[in-house]
Structure 1
Amino acid sequence: MIEELAGGDLLVEQRESALHVTFNRPRARNAMTNAMYDALVTVCERADADETVRSVVLRGAGDRAFVAGTDITQFRGFTGEDGIAYEERIAGVLDRLRAVEVPVIAVIDGHCVGGGLGIATCADLRLVTSQASFGMPIARTLGNTLAAGTLRRLVGLLGESWVVRLVLAGERISAQQADASGFARLVETDIDEAAAELTRTIAASAPLTLWSIKELLRRGAGSQDVDDADVITRIYGSDDFAGAVDAFLTKTSWDWQGR
């Protein structure tokens, strides 16, 4: 059953172990409203609270855009203080998406620009069609800026040179370039089936192992030393690890429990 959030602008449906989320404003290229951002946080909370959810899949309605940033009508009358509050709010939403305990997959068909690119960078895996493209044209459109946290995340995934080209030169990253860089995987066949296959692979994997890698990367393990003792303790002390070891040695199977 499809549930409508944010007045129908965000759709949620669980298919087997995957929670599918659709940004549903195709006529506005799925531009995000405040209500949609709030609903996205609600989905994150739901994913973490439901043991049957093993992955989250994000996508935009239609084939024109994943998400084309934030709805511009919400910026009328903004002051500098409003800008700080807005960026802090968006940072909170993106941080919550980044912290979801199960893998998050972005399925991207069409434009992924501005705030949409920010959302895509918070996914763990990105599948794209040949029609996908990525941009940050803020210097040509609204003349706004990026908060330091969003900029840091973009640089971490794309590299400083590409971020400068995206913003200063207004360039776009094509699906082929995104694939070559490792930022996304280009799917030349049915992207829906590719996403379904990926969710099945995730569902058959040790959930605590997947969480541990996500969590350590979120803490910054890819670029600095981080405290990992609690993560290692949870993994090696889990029922899943003990059961999987016994199953391996006795040549039996183990059903992952996530604890």
Structure 2
Amino acid sequence: MNIEQPSVTVEMQQHTAIVRLNRPAAMNAVDAVLRADLTRTLQALDADDEVQAIVLTGAGERAFCAGQDLDESATIDTATLAGWLNRQHAMYQAVRDVMKPLVAAINGTAVGAGFQMALMCDLRVAHARLKMGQPEVKAGLASVVGSYLMSLQIGHSLNQQLSLTGELIDGERAWQLGLVNDLVAPADVLPRAIERARALAALPGAALRTTKQRFRERTQAGFEEACSAGIRYQLECYATGEPQRVMQAFIARRQAT
């Protein structure tokens, strides 16, 4: 099988597809190419009868996914924002639509869009030292889709704290909160995720598929509303110029080092 795309790679191990976000120099941040490649890859794997389970992870050791690529985000304005977020919505929906077992092997930093994709997987495996969370407010953006996804996992008060402050938590804290299912040594993250995915794939197929479908049905309306609200609130944020200023300042600091 060759479904490899420029920024997404696929490795098959005994009917389990290991999908790697493959922009390690950018901490596997999401840009237009990765967004499109991941959408196509997940759809193709889900339709392939030879694939029984999927593991989503990041290339390298630093990051699962560091969220949106700020070089791209900094170019967005109020005229292009809705289309940009709709394409992001399509990528998220591709993750949600996978009918086969889908396990996140969180090998490193998982923030913003990366954190959200991990939350949309069936199960999550991580190690204690990584950082994860919703830092959008620090970039001048509203935390809307991420806060909705966290509301499915944790209580309102903690959700407010993490969404409003943008603070990150480590893997151990995430495991204690139930955001992560298994906490293992860094070297064991991928093997454990593969083990989890294969165990799910060994269950009666119709029962697993319909249970996943029911979880998606129960949350789809809320997810759609959050994505629509995200466009409204991010338009308001971008209209102030704050996101652009914050991101350009970050890019300038990065280029100066």
Indicate whether the TM-score tops 0.5: yes
Q: What is aligned with 1:183?
A: 179
Partner of residue 12, structure 2: 14
Superimposed CA distance per residue, residues 7-43 of structure 1 (whole angstroms, 9 cap, x where no aligned partner): 2x21112211211110111121111111111111112
SS in 1 for 2:10: strand
Q: CA deviation at 1:126?
A: 0.3
Q: CA RMSD in A?
A: 2.3
TM-score, normalised by the number of residues in structure 2:
0.78
Q: Could you say if the C-alpha distance between residues 164 and 139 of structure 1 is closer, same or farther in structure 2, counting changes exceeding 3 Å?
A: same
Question: RCO greater where, 1 or 2, for CA within 8 Å and sep 6 or more?
Answer: 2
Structure 1 unaligned spans of 5+: 225-259
Alignment partners' CA distance in 2, 1:110 and 1:182? 18
1:84 aligned residue (79, 82, 85): 82
- The amino acid that maps onto 2:142 is T
- 8 Å contact kept, 2:103–2:121: yes
SS in 1 for 2:80: helix
Q: Which one-letter code corresponds to 1:79 in the other structure?
A: D
Point out the structure with max Rg over C-alpha. Answer: 1
Identity of aligned residues (%): 29
* Partner in structure 2 of residue 166 of structure 1: 162
Does residue 24 of the first structure (1) align with residue 22 of the second (2)? Answer: yes
CA distance in 1, matches of 2:80, 2:154: 29
Does residue 215 of structure 1 match 2:213? yes
Alignment map for 1:85-234 (pairs within 5 Å): 85-140=83-138, 142-147=139-144, 149-184=145-180, 185-188=182-185, 190-220=188-218
In the other structure, the counterpart of 2:235 is: none
Q: Which amino acid aligns with 2:189?
A: I
Which residue number corresponds to residue 62 of structure 1?
Answer: 60
State whether residues 22 and 59 of structure 1, in contact with CA within 8 Å, keep that contact through their aligned partners in structure 2: yes
Structure 1-normalised TM-score?
Answer: 0.77
In structure 2, distance between residues paired with 1:2 and 1:167? 39
SS at match of 1:208: helix
Separation in 2, partners of 1:47, 1:2 = 11
SS at match of 2:104: strand
SS state at 1:37 partner: helix
Aligned length: 220
Residue-by-residue CA offset, 1:47-91 (whole Å, 9 max, x unaligned): 221122121101111111110011111123422232222222211
Q: Which residue of 2 aligns with 1:75?
A: 73
Q: Map Cα deviations across residues 152-182 of structure 1 (whole Å, 9 max, x no partner).
A: 2222123332332223222222211211222
Gaps of 5+ in 2: 223-257
Q: Sort the Cα spacing of 1:82 and 1:16 in 2 relative to 1 into closer, same or farther, 3 A.
A: same
Structure 2 residue matching 1:81: 3-state secondary structure: coil
Name the structure 2 match of 1:48: 46
Give the helix-richer structure, 1 or 2: 2
Deviations 1:101-158 (A, max 9, x none): 1111100122110111111111110000122221211222x212244x4432222123
CA 1:144 to 1:57, structure 2 compared with 1: closer, same or farther past 3 Å? same
Aligned amino acid, residue 171 of structure 1: E
Q: Is the 8 A contact 1:127 1:187 kept in 2?
A: yes
